[in-house]
Amino acid sequence: MRVKTAGTALSVIALMVTTERRVIGDQPTWPRTAVLQFRVLASWTGGETNEIGTFQSGPLGEGGSMSASMQVGTSPAEDGSACRSAVTMSPFQKTAEGPLPLWQVEGKVQQAGMDDIRVEYAWKRQFAANVGSASEAAYRGTTRVTEGGRVLLDFVPAFEVSSGCWRNLALELSASIPEDPSFGARRIAYDLWLDSQGHGDRLTRRLQLIGKQGEKVAFDYGTFRSKLPVAPPPGKDSYVMEMTVTGSVRGRIQPDGSIEILFTANRGAHPSDGAWFRGAYGAKKVRAAPGETLRLELPAPNQVDDHDNEPATFKALAEQHVALILTPTIVE
Amino acid sequence: MSQDPLEVLSAFMDGEPVAPDALAAALHVPGARDALLDFAALRAGLAADDSRPSPALRRAMDGILGRRAQPVWRVLRGFAAVVVLALAALGAVSLGMRSRGPTADEPPRATRVIQFTPGVDWHEGVQR
């Protein structure tokens, strides 16, 4: 085989290898769903805060909505404590009963993205007529929550002292992405490298992580030091910079076999004497084929006004290229 | 310096460039006809034998050429062949090392590079 022909063949093979594990486009084409949870919290007198009742919707597509009523009540305790809590929940409108609040809630999923769920919500607090001094209230709004994030919607102080149970009650909202039963038990392995190069030195560190489908897995590479080719501080032999890289990765196997990944990273830097600290963070959502290797370049810290007398330091930092190299695979 | 007439005839038989006057002089040398016939027989033998020259053929060549030292260009050609082979071997070793992939201390080669964009998805400060 002639050399030119061999080179062409190698190029074609290289192209095939390069494109073999690519996922075209980062936006899925299948419908997404989210689950909404409205939760009543209670702080016991002299005790801590607990959940006493949660109404959870079924999977709602984008544009899907739900409503519910949550009536808070108490009943005599049998174990010697002051009282027993009870939250009566229904998907239908109810009339308030007793001295404790009834919350009428509505929720609508606007967007069901990974770690980015946008919800339009409304709540109304009602009481039975002529009971207590608490007032009725209502609110309508929108919010953006992460998976596992919470939004406090309403707070009611301890108005029913006679109950002897609670100092206050609260209503909160959270949302989650329901897992596809086909993949719910699967796990994803993340081979994650830190690669720092600059000024003739290269440092690599490797972490091997495993997370369940949709589970957020944190990483922390600790502190790594490098000597910058700049004038050392007074009394020092060299200018040593300490850098940190932390973050998290959340992956979810998709119906087409690809893995949707939400990647967050934080890059910090400070001189070893701790004179200042500069940090930055970011998040990327990508889709990758299992086994595909992604390189995420982390921008260098920007110069800060307070340290304008160190332009050489930030120039040297900018020459320090830091990247995270991620290869996700599905654990068989 | 004049060339050996038999070498001139041998080069001519090999298809190499030969000065016409040197060839004319060589053809007048006694034994030139026999030498040409021997060379023709040699070529026929080489064509029939695609392996290595037989000892008889080697002896016949020694007799004809009188074991004279090889010309400088032949030595250079052999040396060049050795250099090419050595470079090829080095290339093969290098290719083999590359194809083995990264070492345990070296991250894998990425198929996709993703950049954060300051101000868009990369922000100054500490993540809340």
**What type of residue is A210?**
I
Q: Which of B107, B113, B116 sits opposite A282 (nearest CB)?
A: B116
**pLDDT exceeds 70 at position A5:** no
Please indicate, yes or no, whether residues B42 and B64 belong to a single structural domain of this protein.
Answer: yes
**A278 within a domain of the structure (yes/no):** yes
Mutation site for A-interface testing, chosen from B84, B95, B109, B112 by largest number of A Cβ within 10 Å: B112
Which of the 8 DSSP states describes residue B95? H
Are A280 and B118 an interchain contact pair (Cβ–Cβ within 8 Å)? Answer: yes
For chain A, the residues whose C-beta falls within 8 A of a C-beta of chain B are 18, 21-22, 191, 193, 195, 204, 206, 264-266, 268, 278-284, 286, 288, 292-299, 301-302, 325, 327
Please count the structural domains in chain A: 2
Please indicate, yes or no, whether residues B43 and B4 belong to a single structural domain of this protein.
Answer: yes
* End residue of a domain, out of A142, A176, A210: A176
pLDDT tens sequence across A77-86? 676 666 777 8
Q: Of A220-229, A247-256, A272-281, B91-100, which range is least confident?
A: B91-100
**B121 within a domain of the structure (yes/no):** no
Q: Which of B105, B114, B126 sits opposite A286 (nearest CB)?
A: B114
Residue A191: the pLDDT is 97
**A160 within a domain of the structure (yes/no):** yes
* Residue indicated by tokens 């290229």: A321
Please indicate, yes or no, whether residues A56 and A171 belong to a single structural domain of this protein.
Answer: yes
Distance CA A247, CA A85 (A): 40
Q: What mean pLDDT value characterizes chain A?
A: 85
Residue A22: the pLDDT is 54
Please count the structural domains in chain B: 2
Give the domain extent around A207: 187-331
What mean pLDDT is predicted for residues A33-40? 96
**A2 within a domain of the structure (yes/no):** no
Mutation site for B-interface testing, chosen from A21, A193, A302 by largest number of B Cβ within 10 Å: A193
Please indicate, yes or no, whether residues A245 and A326 belong to a single structural domain of this protein.
Answer: yes
- Cβ-based neighbour number of residue A97 at 10 Å: 15
pLDDT tens sequence across A174-186? 999 999 888 888 9
Residue B64: the pLDDT is 62
Give the minimum alpha-carbon distance from A121 to chain B in angstroms, rounded to a whole number: 24
Give the minimum alpha-carbon distance from B45 to chain A in angstroms, rounded to a whole number: 30
- In this structure, are residues A240 and A271 in contact, taking their beta carbons and an 8 Å threshold? yes
Distance CA A217, CA A288 (A): 17
Give the minimum alpha-carbon distance from A205 to chain B in angstroms, rounded to a whole number: 8
Q: Which of A204, A266, A288 sits opposite B105 (nearest CB)?
A: A204
Please indicate, yes or no, whether residues A139 and A38 belong to a single structural domain of this protein.
Answer: yes
**A270 within a domain of the structure (yes/no):** yes
Are A299 and B105 an interchain contact pair (Cβ–Cβ within 8 Å)? Answer: no
Please indicate, yes or no, whether residues A200 and A161 belong to a single structural domain of this protein.
Answer: no
Residue A14: the pLDDT is 37
* B112: contact with A, CB 8 A cutoff: yes
Distance CA B75, CA B72 (A): 5
3-state secondary structure of B53: coil
**A320 within a domain of the structure (yes/no):** yes
Distance CA A44, CA A102 (A): 19
**B84 within a domain of the structure (yes/no):** yes
Burial (CB count <10 Å: 0-12, 13-18, 19+), residue A54? middle
Distance CA A54, CA A38 (A): 6
* End residue of a domain, out of A176, A199, A220: A176
Residue A260: the pLDDT is 95
Please indicate, yes or no, whether residues A146 and A191 belong to a single structural domain of this protein.
Answer: no
**Cα angle A26, A29, A35; round to 5:** 95
Please indicate, yes or no, whether residues A194 and A304 belong to a single structural domain of this protein.
Answer: yes
Distance CA A301, CA A319 (A): 11
E strands in B1-128: 112-115, 122-124
Give the domain extent around B74: 70-103
Which among B105, B111, B100 has a CA at the least distance from the CA of A206? B105
Q: Which of A195, A268, A302 sits opposite B107 (nearest CB)?
A: A195
Q: ipTM value, please give it.
A: 0.76
Are A293 and B127 an interchain contact pair (Cβ–Cβ within 8 Å)? Answer: no
**A182 within a domain of the structure (yes/no):** no
* Residue indicated by tokens 């600290």: A277
Burial (CB count <10 Å: 0-12, 13-18, 19+), residue B12? middle
Please indicate, yes or no, whether residues B62 and B78 belong to a single structural domain of this protein.
Answer: no
Q: Which of A21, A295, A299 sits opposite B118 (nearest CB)?
A: A299
Please indicate, yes or no, whether residues A315 and A293 belong to a single structural domain of this protein.
Answer: yes
Are B118 and A298 an interchain contact pair (Cβ–Cβ within 8 Å)? Answer: no
Q: Of A86-95, B86-95, B96-105, which range is least confident?
A: B96-105
Q: Which two tokens stand for residue B63?
A: 């007799």
Please indicate, yes or no, whether residues A142 and A202 belong to a single structural domain of this protein.
Answer: no
Which among A264, A299, A287, A23 has a CA at the least distance from the CA of A146? A264
Residue A143: the pLDDT is 97
Which among A61, A64, A56, A32 has a CA at the least distance from the CA of A252? A32
Please indicate, yes or no, whether residues A95 and A128 belong to a single structural domain of this protein.
Answer: yes
Please indicate, yes or no, whether residues B58 and B96 belong to a single structural domain of this protein.
Answer: no
Are B118 and A279 an interchain contact pair (Cβ–Cβ within 8 Å)? Answer: no
Please indicate, yes or no, whether residues B62 and B94 belong to a single structural domain of this protein.
Answer: no
Whole-model pTM?
A: 0.66
pLDDT tens sequence across A118-141? 999 999 999 886 555 568 899 999
**What type of residue is A54?**
T
Please indicate, yes or no, whether residues B19 and B81 belong to a single structural domain of this protein.
Answer: no
**A23 within a domain of the structure (yes/no):** no
* End residue of a domain, out of B68, B85, B114: B68
Edge-to-edge strands, sheet with A187-198: A201-212, A187-198, A321-331, A294-298, B112-115
Please indicate, yes or no, whether residues A118 and A251 belong to a single structural domain of this protein.
Answer: no
Q: Number of Cβ pairs closer than 8 Å across A and B? A: 75
Q: Which residues pair with A321 in a beta bridge?
A: A197
Residue B105: the pLDDT is 78
Please indicate, yes or no, whether residues A126 and A202 belong to a single structural domain of this protein.
Answer: no
Please indicate, yes or no, whether residues B55 and B89 belong to a single structural domain of this protein.
Answer: no
